[in-house]
Amino acid sequence: MTRAVLSIGSNLGDRLARLQSVIDGLGEAVLAVSPVYETVPWGPVEQGPFLNAVVIADDPKVDQHGWLRLGQLLEHAAERVRGQRWGPRTLDVDLVSCSADGTEIVVREDDLTLPHPLAHLRAFVLVPWRDIDPAAALTVAGMSTPVTRLLEDIEPVDLAGVTPTDLTLRSKA
């Protein structure tokens, strides 16, 4: 069993439709979808707010590289242009974590680092992830750490930048 935690976000165009395109693209692999949050952009670039969510998906035929490729294909379908780092985007699909048979995969390669090296610092990833998997943990500095514990280290101003919405994403599951 290969399970992936994906963080999805958009701040250009029909943001909700872009997020829904990920859920639709993953199809029956979707196990859980978080509530949708509006979030303050992360990083130094001036831009509009994002809609963000987290998706947990499972497909025994897809390994960590397959999840990465699938995320990139979904971004391409949403006309994602890779330009300015941390800049505005139609769709961002980040592979946060991947596990096989219940064991988190740790990878350090040129094209893939797992778990995502900045996920533990991002309230817009941790808050929605906790919503759908309160027992979730992420390896940080070689130690598996509960997401609830990681959230304790997030600055209050960053937590305040993650605002619940009434928007929802529809899963076929």
Compute the CA torsion angle 61, 66, 69, 75 (nearest 10 deg).
50
Q: Using CA atoms, how far apart are residues 103 and 122, in angstroms rounded to an integer?
A: 23
Q: Is 89 a catalytic residue?
A: yes
49-88 burial, b at 16+ Cβ within 10 Å, e below that, comes to ebbbbbbbbbbeebebeebbebbeebbeebebeeeeeebb
3-state DSSP call for residue 152? helix
Verify whether residue 82 is a known catalytic residue: no
Q: How far apart are CA 16 and CA 167, in angstroms?
A: 8
Q: Which of 15, 89, 122, 130 is catalytic?
A: 89
Tokens of residue 50, six digits: 């994002």
Q: Which is the catalytic residue, given 3, 15, 18, 94?
A: 94
- Given 80, 122, 131, 158, the catalytic residue: 80
Beta-carbon count within 10 A of 140 CB: 16
Q: Is 108 a catalytic residue?
A: no
| Residue of 59, 92, 131, 158 marked catalytic | 92
92 classed as catalytic: yes
Residue with tokens 């808050």: 127
Q: For residue 140, what are the β-bridge partners? A: 143
Residues serving a catalytic function are 80, 89, 92, 94
